[in-house]
């Protein structure tokens, strides 16, 4: 009789359709790749609910991925969508020794993972990543999660989920990065003053990047700023750049590969993150390791992180950026608060029934300067 492989099933709303889509859901990509590298004898199967926009099976870095194209299945067809995922989970369980289910975000992935795990006695953990902690997340009442199966990505999300849903996640395991993927250069004469990276969506508020650069231009007439990313707000932001007279100062570079984005971070002095709400943006952690000073509105962790400045409003963001740009003798030091290696090990410790006191674990790693 064929020995059944020990298997961890990853449930995610989206996953890259090809290995070249390095800009797409970077945290999920890095988590799965790090899991594969650190646990080579563990079989990993990914179920992607919405993206890619097709129903198929393919391999990503030699790992099987099943996608279900849930964007095409609404209302009455939703039950067929859930049923197809449920049947795939049953098939995986029948053919493998499933040691656990791990879902990204407290949404439909957690809904399927929680009830399938409960029915078949399989451990399930859900990683709260950001927007799912908001009061507007109505799925929580259907999922009915219990504290011990919730992992928050930051201290902020622990408190936010508890405040909005009355459930305090029992675990806090922060997002992390892989230092090995950074280009092997450390630029000292940085030619980009301000950088932003991320979706040009209304929720990310990169229209504020235009406001900040416009406010800084009288103080720094030769200011140069760039943004990497695409989104529905691109045209409106482009018009704002033209209206503010910043065509020669703020450049929308569009979608860039992960490697190109990291290289641009290593040329930047200040990285701005303008979102009003964020779980724990990986781009901020990457910018820190690239040596840039990060300025954002959201503070993910209770403890301060070196070179990460929290602004109260746009005027405060402008003031903090001006102070950094005015520094006559800047030092660009990589800051490495959290690595994905440690994140993956902490998650796997939960499945291996050796719980990590996540808050103390996070405090141990905070703000390492390398």
Check the CA dihedral 10-11-16-22 and report its sign: negative
pLDDT of residue 78: 81
- The residue-averaged pLDDT of 275-303 equals 93
> pLDDT tier at 354 (50, 70, 90 boundaries)?
very low
pLDDT of residue 75: 65
pLDDT tens profile 171-221: 999 999 999 998 877 666 799 999 999 888 888 899 999 999 999 999 999
Same fold, 6-176+339-369 and 179-336: yes
Domain ranges of the chain: 6-176+339-369, 179-336
Arch. (CATH architecture) of 6-176+339-369: 3-Layer(aba) Sandwich (3.40)
pLDDT of residue 355: 42
- The residue-averaged pLDDT of 4-15 equals 94
Q: State the Cα–Cα distance between residues 153 and 278, nearest whole angstrom.
A: 10
| pLDDT of 368 over the 70 cut | no
Q: Which of 213, 220, 274, 222 minimizes the C-alpha distance to 244?
A: 213
Per-position DSSP letters for 40-75, written without gaps between them: TTSEEEEEEEEESSSEEEEEETTEEEEEE-GGG--G
pLDDT tens profile 64-81: 999 998 876 666 678 888
pLDDT of residue 340: 96
- The chain-wide mean pLDDT, for the chain, equals 91
pLDDT of residue 80: 87
| pLDDT of 359 over the 50 cut | no
pLDDT of residue 356: 39
Q: State the Cα–Cα distance between residues 59 and 70, nearest whole angstrom.
A: 19
| pLDDT of 363 over the 70 cut | no
Residues 6+ apart with CB under 8 A from 187: 266, 267, 291, 332
pLDDT of residue 365: 43
Rounded to 10 deg, the angle between the 358-365 and 340-351 helix axes is 160
Asked: is 179-336 a CATH 3.40.50.2000 domain? The reply is yes
- CA dist list (Å): 306 to 10, 12, 263, 280, 333: 33, 32, 21, 15, 10
pLDDT of residue 186: 61
pLDDT tens profile 106-153: 999 999 999 999 999 999 999 999 999 999 999 999 999 999 999 999
Q: Pairing relation of β-strands 225-228 and 192-197?
A: parallel
Tokens 């399927």 found at: 112
Q: Quickly count: other Cβ atoms within 10 Å of residue 209's Cβ.
A: 27
Which one is predicted more confidently, 266 or 357? 266
pLDDT tens profile 303-347: 999 999 999 999 999 999 999 999 988 889 999 999 999 999 999
Q: State the Cα–Cα distance between residues 104 and 32, nearest whole angstrom.
A: 12
Q: Please name the helix (run of DSSP H) or strand (run of DSSP E) that holds residue 226, with its range, or none.
A: strand 225-228
């Amino acid at each position: 009789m064929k020995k059944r492989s020990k298997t961890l099933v990853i449930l995610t709303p989206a996953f890259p359709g090809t290995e070249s889509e390095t800009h797409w859901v970077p945290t999920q990509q890095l988590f799965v790749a790090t899991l594969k590298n650190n646990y080579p004898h563990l079989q990993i199967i990914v179920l992607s609910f919405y993206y890619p926009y097709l129903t198929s099976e393919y391999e990503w870095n030699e790992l099987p991925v099943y996608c279900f194209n849930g964007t095409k299945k609404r209302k009455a067809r939703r039950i067929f969508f859930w049923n197809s995922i449920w049947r795939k989970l049953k098939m995986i369980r029948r053919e493998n020794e499933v040691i656990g289910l791990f879902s990204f975000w407290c949404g439909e992935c957690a809904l399927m993972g929680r009830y399938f795990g409960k029915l078949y006695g399989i451990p399930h953990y859900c990683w709260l990543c950001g927007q799912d902690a908001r009061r507007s997340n109505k799925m929580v009442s259907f999922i009915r999660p219990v504290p011990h199966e919730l992992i928050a990505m930051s201290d902020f999300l622990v408190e936010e989920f508890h405040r909005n849903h009355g459930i305090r996640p029992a675990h806090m395991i922060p997002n992390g990065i892989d230092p090995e993927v950074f280009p092997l250069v450390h630029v000292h004469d940085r030619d980009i003053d301000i950088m932003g990276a991320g979706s040009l969506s209304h929720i990310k508020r990169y229209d504020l990047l235009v406001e900040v650069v416009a406010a800084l231009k009288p103080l720094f007439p030769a200011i140069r700023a760039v943004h990497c990313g695409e989104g529905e707000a691109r045209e409106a932001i482009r018009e704002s750049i033209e209206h503010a007279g910043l065509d020669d100062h703020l450049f929308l570079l569009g979608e860039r590969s992960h490697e190109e984005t990291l290289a641009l971070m290593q040329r930047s002095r200040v990285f701005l993150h303008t979102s009003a709400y964020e779980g724990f943006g990986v781009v901020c952690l990457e910018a820190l390791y690239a040596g840039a000073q990060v300025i954002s509105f959201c503070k993910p962790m209770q403890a301060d992180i070196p070179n990460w400045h929290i602004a109260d409003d746009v005027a405060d963001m402008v003031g903090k950026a001006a102070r950094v740009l005015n520094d006559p003798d800047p030092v660009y030091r990589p800051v490495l608060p959290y690595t994905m290696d440690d994140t993956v090990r902490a998650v796997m410790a939960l499945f291996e029934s050796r719980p990590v006191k996540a808050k103390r674990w996070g405090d141990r790693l905070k703000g390492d300067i390398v």
